[in-house]
């Protein structure tokens, strides 16, 4: 039998999706499953975006431009300028989701065997994107004790080698909800300038920040013009995960020109999704004010409820809509599967994402889970109650 590739063997499973078959079986048994495992918002997509697709005069559904239409990129640049990010449409490549933006970025700046440094835990697909590009992830572990703040900058510098090409952060963080301070961003800026590295920032959750704290973008840092690469997406901002529209933003023309070649190779992003995304830019600020208020309320409800469970430790997120909880179990993967296979209360159970898949260091995060607070407050409270009951009954 022909053999598949080594990198195919090495592609990691998604910690978010690998338990889906067990959840589906639970539903077939008639069990209601509360999904805390995936960042799929229940917030309504802005009507203006849906209407743009519904009410159009297109007679031929043609290819879009590989880099995205000029009108969309101009409007997108205008949006960024309102957030103190001074870019033009020529600094933007539109992609099929933030995932493709990361793939194009890594393909543009790394060669086989190169390294990228990432504070862990991190968005699980960073592992997969790195395997697909033949590069090595060098993790720097953050910890729950200080809410997963940026590790000491010396820890980063110790890991830099001649093969290091970039530092990658998610800000605000998935899965931790941590929001980097301006001081932390400046420390990273100084480090990449010193060692002539790229600083990649996945900023898809930029709108979701709490407690009056401000988001600081790498694109707003003077002196990083040739080093900063921002990854963005409409998925979370407008609750349009299914649109699959993201972008790469950089003032480094070589990065943009190289990423464009990848974009040309895949032809274009989907036309209807681009149409919806362009229309979504007309969404009034009141939409974001309401959405952020709702997520803030959910955050408070969830964290307070989790803190009441004996021997459970939880970080308090400052942004995004995720948190990491540490459980009194040895193997959160086994516990999460057990909840779907063996546990229910009044016909209900809960699905979480084991956090081990958000680490690159073997054995890390084994007793942690990621929770996405994308359900309404009543469902979140019931989910935490189910989690408490499950921990009481779990044989492990």
DSSP tag of 59: S
**Which position has the higher pLDDT, 12 or 269?**
269
Helix (H, G, I), strand (E, B) or coil at 119: strand
Distance CA 110, CA 323 (A): 31
| H helix runs in the chain, sequence order | 6-10, 20-28, 47-54, 70-82, 97-109, 125-132, 153-159, 182-195, 253-265, 271-280, 285-307, 332-341, 377-393
Q: What would the two tokens of residue 327 be?
A: 């459980």
Sheet holding 136-141, edge to edge: 92-95, 246-249, 228-233, 198-202, 164-170, 115-120, 136-141
**Which CATH number does 6-44+286-393 carry?**
3.90.1150.10
Region of 207 on the Ramachandran plot (φ > 0 left; ψ -120 to 50 alpha; else beta): alpha
Q: With a cut of 80, say whether residue 15 has pLDDT above it.
A: no
Mean pLDDT of 235-262: 97
| Residues comprising the chain, all counted | 396
Distance CA 326, CA 119 (A): 18
Task: Single out the residue of 357, 326, 370 nearest to residue 126, CA to CA.
Answer: 357
Q: Confidence class of residue 262 from pLDDT cuts 50, 70 and 90?
A: very high
Return the pLDDT at 389.
Answer: 98
Could you tell me if 118 and 171 are in contact, meaning their C-beta atoms sit under 8 angstroms apart?
no
Mean pLDDT of 329-340: 97
User: Residue 314's beta-bridge partner residues?
Assistant: 325
Q: What would the two tokens of residue 204 be?
A: 């898809």
Residues of the chain within CATH 3.90.1150.10 domain(s) are: 6-44+286-393
Share of the chain above pLDDT 70, in %: 100
Mean pLDDT of 79-87: 95
Q: With a cut of 80, say whether residue 396 has pLDDT above it.
A: no
Q: Confidence class of residue 181 from pLDDT cuts 50, 70 and 90?
A: very high
Mean pLDDT of 247-265: 98
Residues of the chain within CATH 3.40.640.10 domain(s) are: 57-280
pLDDT tens, position by position, 131-140: 999 999 999 9
pLDDT tens, position by position, 184-219: 999 999 999 999 999 999 999 999 999 999 999 999
The fold of 57-280 is 3.40.640
Phi, psi of 50 (to 5 degrees): -70, -40
């Amino acid at each position: 039998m022909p053999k598949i590739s080594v990198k195919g063997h090495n592609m990691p499973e998604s910690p978010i999706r690998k338990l889906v078959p067990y959840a589906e079986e639970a539903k077939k048994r008639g069990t209601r499953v509360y999904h805390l495992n995936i960042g799929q918002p229940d917030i309504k997509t802005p009507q203006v975006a849906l209407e743009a697709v519904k009410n159009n005069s297109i007679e031929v559904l043609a290819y879009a431009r590989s880099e995205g239409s000029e009108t969309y990129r101009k409007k997108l640049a205008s949006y960024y300028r309102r957030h103190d990010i001074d870019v033009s449409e020529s600094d933007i490549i539109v992609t099929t989701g933030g995932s493709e933006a990361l793939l194009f970025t890594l393909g543009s700046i790394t060669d086989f065997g190169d390294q990228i440094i990432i504070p862990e835990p991190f968005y699980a697909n960073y592992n997969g994107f790195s395997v697909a590009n033949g590069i090595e992830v060098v993790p720097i572990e953050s910890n729950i004790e200080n809410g997963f703040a940026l590790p000491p900058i010396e820890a980063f510098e110790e890991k830099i080698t001649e093969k290091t090409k970039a530092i990658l952060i998610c800000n605000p963080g998935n899965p931790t909800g941590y929001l980097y301070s301006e001081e932390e961003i400046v420390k990273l800026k100084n480090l990449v300038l010193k060692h002539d590295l790229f600083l990649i920032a996945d900023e898809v959750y930029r709108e979701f920040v709490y407690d009056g704290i401000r988001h600081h973008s790498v694109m707003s840092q003077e002196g990083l013009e040739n080093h900063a690469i921002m990854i963005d997406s409409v998925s979370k901002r407008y609750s349009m995960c299914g649109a699959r529209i993201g972008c790469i933003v950089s003032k480094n023309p070589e990065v943009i020109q190289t990423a464009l070649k990848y974009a040309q190779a895949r032809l274009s992003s989907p036309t209807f999704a681009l149409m919806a995304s362009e229309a979504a830019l007309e969404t009034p600020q009141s939409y974001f004010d309401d959405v952020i208020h709702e997520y803030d309320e959910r955050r408070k409800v969830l964290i307070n409820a989790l803190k009441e469970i004996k021997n459970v430790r939880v970080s308090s997120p400052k942004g995004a809509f995720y948190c990491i909880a540490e459980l009194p179990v040895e193997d959160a993967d086994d516990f999460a599967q057990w909840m779907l296979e063996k546990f229910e209360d009044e016909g209900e159970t809960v699905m979480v994402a084991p956090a081990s898949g958000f680490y690159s260091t073997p054995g890390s995060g084994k007793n942690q889970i990621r929770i996405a607070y994308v359900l309404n407050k009543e469902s979140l409270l019931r989910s935490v109650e189910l989690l408490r009951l499950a921990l009481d009954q779990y044989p492990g």
